[in-house]
Amino acid sequence: MWYRIRNLLLAGLVAAASVGSAQAHGLLRHCCSSCDNACAPSCAAPCAPAAPAAPTTITVNCIEWVQETRQVPCTTYQWQQKTENYTCYKRETVQVQKPCTYTCKRYVTETVMENRTCVERIPHWEERTVMKAHWETQQVTEMRQKTVCNGHWETKEVPACSISLFGHKGCCDCAPKTKCVKCWVPCKETVCCPVTVCKKVKVCTPCTVKVCCYQTICKQVQVPVCKTRCICETKTEMRTVCETKCVPTQATRTVCCCVPCTTMKTVTVCVPKCVQKQVQVSACATKAACGCCR
């Protein structure tokens, strides 16, 4: 709407400029013609001062801006709901028979003859001299230690008892009485002396005996051996497999969309119009505007 108003204003300015130029050109022609008629008798003679002329009235075209009310189409956008069909894809699980190839192992037991080295022991008798042990009772002289007591009696002088038989103490000024007593003085010594004892003694006597000995012989023998062998086999069988597929489905949905709508709107615009007006102009002003009497 503003774009159209701007175009109308520019068109009005161009029209006003063209009308003003046309009006000025007409005024110039009118002034020249009046000036030629007034100045024709006096062109041969020098101009003399003339009396002031009366003001004249001329018609002038003017541009005026006039407000007009117009109906202008206006485009607006509105949100509307509409129902549309679309294609959606739904996942479905379907059971399908497919060949499946796999490798399995199978164990086979076989009996194989193999060469083995075995050791065989062969017995044989031999005569050998061995030391045979037996026990005998013998008298043996041993040195043993024993403790011998070599004590003796000694006579010692000991103080006598100072209390009488009647329980009265003796005189304190008298010298102490002593008496002689025999005492045993011990004296222990360790002495080694030979002792004859009977003991069992181990005696080894050589004797000849027969001994069973074994002779080791190595030989090759074929032995049946059970071996288990693994065999890989490839098998193919039909299996039921679940697969997921996308299935197209038609569905309906309601969406909001922006829809352009054209409506008529009343707008007030300014329009240029050419209006004729009467303007009073003096003769000198007319001549000055004409430029013929210079």
Q: Does residue 18 sit within a domain?
A: yes
Two tokens, residue 123: 């017995």
Closest CA to 250 of 91, 90, 92: 90
pLDDT at 34: 46
Closest CA to 139 of 203, 201, 196: 196
d(CA 37, CA 56): 15
Q: Does residue 285 sit within a domain?
A: yes
10 Å Cβ neighbour count for 20?
15
Q: Helix (H, G, I), strand (E, B), or coil: what is residue 29?
A: helix
Q: Does residue 13 sit within a domain?
A: yes
Q: Does residue 100 sit within a domain?
A: no
Q: Does residue 277 sit within a domain?
A: yes
Query: Cα-Cα-Cα-Cα dihedral of 54, 59, 63, 64, to 10°?
Result: 80
CB neighbour class for 271 (10 Å; exposed up to 12, middle 13-18, buried from 19) = middle
pLDDT at 224: 92
Pair 290, 101: CB distance under 8 Å: no
pLDDT at 289: 47
Q: Does residue 278 sit within a domain?
A: yes
More confident residue, 13 or 237: 237
Contact residues for 87 (Cβ-Cβ < 8 A; gap 6+): 248, 249, 250, 251
d(CA 160, CA 102): 128
Would the pLDDT of 221 be above 80? yes
pLDDT, tens digit, 9 for 90 and up, residues 227-253: 998 999 999 989 898 888 888 989 898
Q: Does residue 112 sit within a domain?
A: no
Q: How many domains does the chain have?
A: 1
- Amino acid of residue 235: K
Q: Does residue 279 sit within a domain?
A: yes
Instruction: Tell me what the mean pLDDT of segment 155-163 comes to.
Output: 72
Q: Provide the residue range defining the domain that includes 21.
A: 2-83+263-290
DSSP secondary structure of 50-102: -PPPPPEEEEEEEEEEEEEEEEEEEEEEEEEEEEEEEEEEEEEEEEEEEEEEE
Q: How much of the chain exceeds pLDDT 70, in percent? A: 77
At residue 264, φ and ψ (nearest 5 deg) are -90, 130
